[in-house]
Amino acid sequence: MVLKNAAKQRQKRIIVLEDLDFLWDEGELEEVARLWKIGLDVRVIAGKFNRDPDDILLALIHLAKEDRIFRRIGGLTLGF
């Protein structure tokens, strides 16, 4: 209830992440998961799909919530 009232009080609404692409084919998600599991950097995965690295992060969040990927040593990147 507090959130509803807070939302009504907002004066300037902004759609966040509007410029990102949330649409994926199932096969693409399977490939993102495979590339994640072999340890590729998010930026490398993005390059393979010709997509923004932020799109990949969204896909990874989705895959993690579905228990299709898990934490890995090195986290999001393997180093610079």
Domain ranges of the chain: 21-72
pTM for the whole structure: 0.78
Q: How many CA atoms lie within 13 A of 22 on its CB side?
A: 5
Percentage of the residues of the chain whose pLDDT score is greater than 90 = 69
Region 32-53: what's the mean pLDDT? 95
pLDDT at 73: 78
Among the listed residues 39, 37, 30, 79, the one whose alpha carbon sits nearest the alpha carbon of residue 59: 30
Give, in words, the CATH class of 21-72: mainly alpha
pLDDT at 60: 96
pLDDT at 72: 85
